[in-house]
Amino acid sequence: MRKIIYFCFPLLLSLCAVSQNYTLEISIPDYVKSELTFCSQFGDKSKILETIVTNDDGTAFHNITDCEIGVYRIYFENEQYFDIIFNNENVRLSLLAAAPVETMQVIESSENKILYSFMQQSYALSKKIDVLNYFLTKYPKGKLYKKVQKEFDAVSQEQLNLSKSLTSVNRQSFAARMIAYYTNPIIPKEIKEAGQENSYIRDNFFSFYPCNDTLLINSPVYSGLALNYLRMFSVAGNYEASVEGFKKAAINLLNQTAPNEKIQTHILKILIDGFESLQLFTVADFLLETYGAKCISDDNMSTRYRNITELRVGTDAPILIMKDEQGVPYPFEYKNRTIVVFWATWCDHCRQVIPQLDDYFRKNNRPDIDVLLVSLDTEKGDLHEFLALNGISLPVSCDFKSWGGINATSFSVYATPFYFIIDKNGKIESKPYDFEALMKVLK
């Protein structure tokens, strides 16, 4: 026993060191007794970590523990926000809620001093660049044009010098790594004169922005980068050509990041979520099927990949396990055309579509169709309350194991609501992408 104690003591000390506390202190005089939502901002999505409340003078305190190095987003109640970098240091800020970025003063935190010094100065320079660029694209060449062009070049160089001066002291700081991706490249004079700026940046994009810094996964950098790159492949007035361009750009991004699985997986998620939000499901599926096998270390991506590759339309549907009135499990038999809906009461969209689906089958006699609602809830009370409140009459199954339940696992469910239509022979007939698509199939 004594040996174990001696062995564990240094381990305990190391654990204490790892879980060191840092303090976030924010002074917002025009935001008293109000909530701030503290979120991680790794990519283009915010994940809520904590709710902080300001006191009588607008000051809020938060102990930062067990947080990864990266960018965190703090939301006001009106959905305005500002970002901070956490890199194992205390952070003290003073700002106004009415204009958080413009009024930001970083009292303590070397990372955020670099970031906000760049953001505030760069914003003013970017406004100048936009005005000058507008003139250059609208007015004919001449003496005034050359004068504006010269000023445009000077301001662009000033912006580049700003980033160099702010990052030269500590090039490996998180802020410096981010700023490198927020700095516009200098375009050669002959390229500008030929009006080929867009194609020049597009062709040299990965020289300017190599997409090889794993640490920046914990920031919005790569989501902004992917969006800007895709925009360069848009074709004005031609939707089909734009979609093909976006697909080509996505392939380029994923091929560029292939040497680093973590970055490639991160960008693949960004692209798939983006294409799905644009209803470009065929592009999202193509990317997942083509690149998903390389990202199996990510649980969600691995599940998505299995869903696309193993549960194709026309293949046998997985066995669906139901329970009888005594709670005994049994395999459901696909006698009719069957709609299987995976959903949960904590999913806002599900709370809308489940009552609509139930209402449809109340009003329409469809003996040729069976409907099964497979809930991913973990709390019986939440599920029963929702069913009773909405008077749901369709059959509901739930093993209260969430994503780890036997049905969710066998059907490779990675999002809610998720729809399967299975024919009477037990084959997957279709997987409607949304409720509207499901309704079209029914009607």
| DSSP annotation of 379 | -
Which is more confidently placed, 125 or 405? 405
| pLDDT for the residue 268 | 93
**pLDDT greater than 70 at residue 288:** yes
Which burial class, exposed, middle or buried, applies to 11 when counting CB atoms under 10 A from its CB (0-12, 13-18, 19+)?
Answer: exposed
CATH architecture of the domain with range 321-442: 3-Layer(aba) Sandwich (3.40)
- CA distances in angstroms from 94 to 10, 24, 55, 105, 175, listed in the order given: 39, 11, 14, 5, 19
Q: Are 198 and 192 in contact (CB under 8 A)?
A: no
| pLDDT for the residue 297 | 62
**pLDDT greater than 70 at residue 181:** yes
At 126, the amino acid letter reads S
CATH architecture of the domain with range 16-106: Sandwich (2.60)
What tens digit of pLDDT does each residue of 198-249 get?
899 999 999 999 999 999 999 999 999 999 999 999 999 999 999 999 999 9
What tens digit of pLDDT does each residue of 3-51 get?
333 333 333 333 334 457 899 999 999 999 999 999 998 876 678 899 9
**pLDDT greater than 50 at residue 282:** yes
Q: Which percentage of the chain shows pLDDT scores above 90?
A: 64
Using only C-alpha atoms, the chain has a radius of gyration, in whole angstroms, of 27
Q: Which residues face 339 on adjacent strands?
A: 371, 421
Q: Where are the domains of the chain?
A: 16-106, 113-310, 321-442
Q: What is the DSSP string of 164-216?
A: HHHHSS-TTSHHHHHHHHHSPPPPPHHHHHTT-HHHHHHHTHHHH-----GGG
| Number of neighbouring beta carbons within 10 Å of residue 13 | 10
Task: Tell me the whole-structure pTM to 2 decimals.
Answer: 0.77
User: What's the rounded Cα separation, in Å, for the pair 23 and 65?
Assistant: 9
Of 272, 313, 274, residue with least CA distance to 290: 272
What tens digit of pLDDT does each residue of 85-128 get?
999 999 999 999 999 999 999 999 999 999 999 999 888 888 88
Give the dihedral sign, CA 149/200/260/306.
Answer: positive
| pLDDT for the residue 3 | 33
Worst-scoring range by mean pLDDT, 23-32, 125-134, 315-324? 125-134
Return mean pLDDT, the chain. Answer: 88
- CA distances in angstroms from 288 to 125, 256, 267, 268, 272, listed in the order given: 40, 16, 11, 8, 7
Name the pLDDT band for 1 (thresholds 50, 70, 90): very low
C-alpha count within 13 angstroms, C-beta hemisphere, residue 23: 9
Name the pLDDT band for 395 (thresholds 50, 70, 90): very high
